[in-house]
Amino acid sequence: MITKYTPQWGNCHFGYIWIINDSNTNCIGHEGNSSGWNTWNYYYPDKKITMIILTNFGFVDVSKLAALFDKIIFK
């Protein structure tokens, strides 16, 4: 499920629906949005932490919210 199946895209690859990030904060996950909701779901295997953000407010930037949590978790 986490095998890299596509060419590298920035620091990431796709493995089925999961994005596999090769950067300093090695993580596997996926985010998505539509009219009225946003999601962010990533697993950090090195830290054994899963972070899931769900909102039914379409205007919330979950990537920025996740970056704030990253600063708390990985400081």
Domain count, the chain: 1
Mean pLDDT along residues 34-62: 87
Domain that holds residue 68: 12-73
Q: What is the per-residue pLDDT for 22?
A: 67
Closest CA to 49 of 22, 72, 18, 33: 72
Does the model's pTM come out above 0.85?
no
Assigned domain for 2 exists: no
Assigned domain for 35 exists: yes
Helix/strand/coil for 37: strand
- Cβ neighbours of residue 29 closer than 8 Å, sequence gap 6 or more: 18, 19, 21, 40, 41, 42, 43
Mean pLDDT along residues 28-41: 84
Assigned domain for 3 exists: no
Assigned domain for 5 exists: no
Assigned domain for 1 exists: no
Residue 21 in contact with residue 8, Cβ under 8 Å? Answer: no
Grade residue 52 by pLDDT with cuts at 50, 70 and 90. very high
